Amino acid sequence: MLEELVGSTWHRFITKRADTNYPDAAVTLDEVRYTAGIFFRALGGEGGLRVENATESTLHTRRTILQRIAGMGDKTQYAWRDEETLRLPDSIALFPTRQLNLDLYLWLTALSVVAEEDIPTEHNTNWISRNQYRTVKTLEIWPGLNQRYQTLLKAHLAQRPKPENLAKDEAEQEIIIRHALINATSTENIKYAKRPPQPVVLWLHPAPPNEELIEQKSIQDPDIEEAPQTKKDQKKQQKRKQGNREDMPTGNEGLMTFRLESLWSWAEFSKVDRTSLEDDDDDAMETAEDMDNITVAQDSQTTASKIKLDLDLPSNKYDDIVLGEGIPIDEWDYRQPKLQKAHCRLQEMESRDTEPTELPKRLQQQAHKIRRQFEVLRPQRHWINRQSDGTEIDLENYVNFLSDLKRGQVNSDTPVYQELRNKTRDLSCLLLADLSLSTDAHINNHARVVDVVRDSLFLFSEALTATGDRFALHGFSSRNRSHIRFYNIKGFDDKYDDNVRGHINAIHPGYYTRMGAAIRHATQLLSKETSSQKLLLILTDGKPNDLDKYEGRYGIEDTRQAVLEAEKLGLRPFCVTIDEQAEDYLPYLFGGRSYVLINNAAELPKKLPLLYLRLTN
């Protein structure tokens, strides 16, 4: 106990003395992630980029004795960006005030707007020239940032090591960096030194790691198709890691030890291959969190040779009913950029196990309340006054006409009739429900996401039946670009009855979420309606994804393009989601006013009809 007390006390003491940061003034990325994303796009940055945590980089710079004793100062997090992600440090506590640390986040975000491909060749010779060009370009386009930058520059220069306290070669490096910071238009070439210079926190990563995304297919077992994971089972690492690719160890290399006497006697031999560990995967994510660098290797053996399992993929005999031969659907590739014609195939389907059913008893009381609330919107007959022709005399205007006639101020065009007309709601709504496998996750002890979606469709249909509005219900999921499942639950011309309720009752979790293709097909269906108002209501619980390359920015950009195409045709897309991370991507997909996040998924059935009322009234 005494040893532990002394050890912990010493650790706290030496760590505090060696730490040059200001923990009390720290600003975390979670605090500024949303602001940084808006700021990046406001300055002209690509809207599809996500704001994520940066990886840690190992430093070989000179450290103080206290830092070496405490084991600190050998890592840092640079800001940088790639094709899909803007990466910023987990936290910044370099300066004594929170405002300075916050300003550094915003400055690094602004600096990242200038992409690598936009830097001229003459300025792309080394990391100093690249960051100088970014600094000059950023302040030239947005001069309002100059005051913040000068304040940050002054604070950073005060923290950098003094050249007179360094060795000759390191001092020359430091002088060059200081001059490049103060005069960003100068041309500087850093010289070699025994140790690299201290990090320049006002600049981006000097050599961003080449983190190519490993295709999911390249690490999958070729013999079996990967089963989708539910949200409950997915674990996401909190910190970005650097990764390497290596060949799988064969187990034939390494040092072999043996007892000399075994050469002359019988010795027991046990075939044990310890090149791979057969531990449970429960702690794999925790282990990864403790590692700075993760190496991935592809085994020469398939998983199928080690274990046999059954995938939850029904045969055609038991799968849902396929309607037609499939519909070719376009898909947007932002990297080219162009619309790939007939790149996907959408398959219209109906649930196989459907039986006519009544509205569930647990929803009947709530449905009755919603119907009464929505009946006020049902088209009714109203008297229209001040008509030049009509079935009845408008007494008020007729009296005014006689008064004017008596005073000699007669207008022959005075409207003195009224007519009884029907006041209608000229509106059509298509509700598109995400039926991916993530809807199989439980939201509480009593219901899954798909159960909440099912109840929402029931009450939504009850509400729109009361108003008389034309509406259609569809669901979707996908397994790849060639197999997008589009469920016909209710068409615009179908009557809402027990048969439709049977289709609603039969919905079930599917596979993945290729949202762009589903939106495009729903757009085609809704655009055929003759109504003056057309609402495309999308109900989802996660971001676009699929088995193939439809991940990350690719899926986001394709979905956004599909939404823009719908808007050009006069439709109004609106998204309702229960995804807690929705604010990271939905504003880019639908705009700031065209989506809503339902924090408590259990309240979705009650809130969806009220949301429709607000959107259409």
Does residue 303 surpass a pLDDT of 50?
no
Query: Hey, is 78 helix, strand or coil?
Result: coil
Q: Which residues lie below 8 Å from residue 465, measured CB to CB, with a gap of 6+? A: 371, 496
26-35, 189-198, 325-334, 524-533: range with lowest mean pLDDT: 189-198
Query: pLDDT: is 106 or 69 the higher one?
Result: 106
Report pLDDT for 436: 93
CA–CA separation, 386 vs 399, rounded Å? 12
Averaged pLDDT for residues 459-468 = 91
In the chain, DSSP finds a helix count (H) and a strand count (E) of 16, 20
End-to-end CA distance of the chain: 70
CA–CA separation, 360 vs 374, rounded Å? 20
What is the secondary structure of 166-185 as a DSSP string?
S-HHHHHHHHHHHHHHH-TT
Domains, the chain, with CATH or none: 2-182 (no CATH), 324-374+426-616 (3.40.50.410), 380-423 (no CATH)
Residue 219 confidence class, pLDDT cut points 50, 70, 90: very low
CA–CA separation, 290 vs 15, rounded Å? 19
Report pLDDT digits (tens) over 120-133.
Answer: 888 888 889 999 99
Q: Which residues lie below 8 Å from residue 261, measured CB to CB, with a gap of 6+? A: none
Average pLDDT, the chain: 81
Percent of the chain at pLDDT exceeding 70:
77
Phi, psi for residue 31 in degrees, rounded to 5: -75, -30
User: Pairing between strand 80-81 and 293-296?
Assistant: unpaired
Q: What ranges make up the beta strands (E) of 494-556?
A: 533-540
* Count of residues making up the chain: 617
- Kindly tell me the sign of the dihedral angle through the C-alpha atoms of 587, 590, 595, 598: negative
Q: Which residues lie below 8 Å from residue 591, measured CB to CB, with a gap of 6+? A: none
Averaged pLDDT for residues 498-503 = 95
Report pLDDT for 440: 92
Report pLDDT for 304: 44
Mean pLDDT highest for which of 306-315, 432-441, 581-590? Answer: 432-441
Report pLDDT for 54: 87
Averaged pLDDT for residues 466-477 = 93
Report pLDDT for 278: 46
Report pLDDT for 605: 93
Q: Which residues lie below 8 Å from residue 192, measured CB to CB, with a gap of 6+? A: 169
Residue with token string 């080219």: 336
Count of CB atoms situated within 10 Å of the CB of 397: 16
